[in-house]
Amino acid sequence: MPASPAPSTRRLALLLGGLAMFGPFSIDTIFPAFPQIGAQLGADKLAMQQTISVYLLAYAAMSVVHGPLSDALGRRWVILAGLAVFTLASAGCALATSLPQLLAFRALQGLSAGVGLIVGRAVIRDVLHGHDAQRLMSQVSMIFGIAPAVAPVLGGWLLGWHRWPSIFWFLAAFALALIAMVWRALPETHPPAARLPLHPATLLRGYWSIARNPRFLRLSMAAALNFGALFLYIASAPAFVLDLLHLGERQFGWFFIPMISGMMLGAFVSGRAAGRIDGAKLANIGFACCGTAMALNLGYGLLVEMPSIPWAVLPMSLYAFGIALAFPIITLAILDMYPRQRGGASSLQAFVGLLANALIAGMLSPLLSGSGLHLALGAAAFALGGWLFWWWEARVSPRPPRMPDEPAALEPSAL
């Protein structure tokens, strides 16, 4: 049976952007509630940080399954099932009366939250190719970028209206709304004739084939480490905003809005540049912006003992702009390496990034978030690492990552 007709690009961008948003919403909305949750459940700052790392570890573990499930069963039903589980997990978080209960339901949230972002990437490549895929990926990134800016502000407002469980009830309601939207507006984009059988041995062989491809590893590490610099600040937002910038629980927007504005502007520029600027050149411009931002951020950290707004947040806005230029190019290059395993390739790329994010949230953020200079040094190290992997790929690959004009696939390289 053939796939249903694809929805319009604009409607698909809105829908996939909304699906990608509920993952970041799960992280960022609870930041303003950390003090209140910790006081009620008897958890210190380090214990509260584990609500992020547990979520991300579960997200990373399940990310290797979402894509292959959608390759075998179809995109639509996998997304609907994930949203249903996320709804129940959010309700469980709202009803939790102890930290272990909260951590258990946060893990369940993480197990289900990846369907929107991971399977959504595969949907884009199912229906569009070349520059059109880059434009749609950029549009989704613009919508997705709203979430980290809006989420902590919304969390602060919800705390002003009610106590912290209201945040998780909001997440449950948001997931229910997405279920209704997917049911009504998202057709199946991966027809049965194109599906792969879901056999564990075949799945493991497929993952092993992808994971041992040096080109996949170089591109995935470039994306993961480049984003890791920004995520270090996102994971450290409670300490950065409340302790270092000395702002209130309703003032997280001072950090997130400039940062996400840079990301949305970069996504807009990336979409406009599709077909006009070579993909590799656009990604190089993105990495140059990231390097400039890190130099400014590190210089500010060395010169100023006590960070303050707006100077402490402006470099990360430029950094987010650079990420938005480079990330769609890298992601689509990875997906085009495996035309019959796009879900699996998307899952494995997400796993690499999420594992890095979990380590950042659980280990590095608690160590570095007590000092603005330490955060700047850590972010600079991640940015340098991401650029080095990108530079390595440009040096050894016979053809750099680009946006193909036709849906021809890039076969796995033997490099």
pLDDT in tens, 188-238: 777 777 677 667 777 777 778 888 888 889 999 999 999 999 989 988 888
Average pLDDT value over all residues in the chain: 81
Quick check: 49 pLDDT over 70? yes
Cα distances (Å, whole numbers) of residue 130 to 250, 268, 300, 401:
42, 17, 40, 12
Which stretch of 8-12, 168-172, 376-380 has the lowest confidence by average pLDDT? Answer: 8-12
Q: Which domains does the chain have, with CATH numbers?
A: 9-190+199-396 (1.20.1250.20)
Helix (H) or strand (E) holding 329: helix 314-337
CA 33/CA 166 separation, integer angstroms: 10
Answer whether the bond into residue 5 is a cis peptide, omega within 30°. no
Alpha carbon distance 202, 300 (integer Å): 51
| Token code pair at residue 185 | 């507006």
pLDDT digits (tens, 9 = 90+) for 256-265: 888 888 888 8
Q: Which residues contact 350 (CB under 8 A, 6 or more apart)?
A: 60, 63, 67, 114, 117, 118
**100-132 pLDDT tens trace:** 999 999 999 988 887 877 787 777 767 766 667
Percent of the chain scoring above 70 in pLDDT:
86
User: Higher confidence at residue 140 or residue 401?
Assistant: 140
Residue 54 has pLDDT above 90, yes or no: no
Per-residue confidence (pLDDT) for residue 408, from 0 to 100: 34
Determine the straight-line distance between the first and last CA of the chain, rounded to whole angstroms: 38
User: Mean pLDDT, to the nearest integer, of 82-99?
Assistant: 93
Q: CB count, 10 Å around CB of 276?
A: 8
Burial 100-114 (b: 16+ CB within 10 A, else e): eebbbbbbbbbbbbb
Supply the pLDDT for residue 379. Answer: 94
Alpha carbon distance 343, 324 (integer Å): 22
State the Cα torsion 13-16-17-22 to the nearest 10°: 170
Q: Would the pLDDT of 288 be above 80?
A: yes
Give residue 131's pLDDT: 65
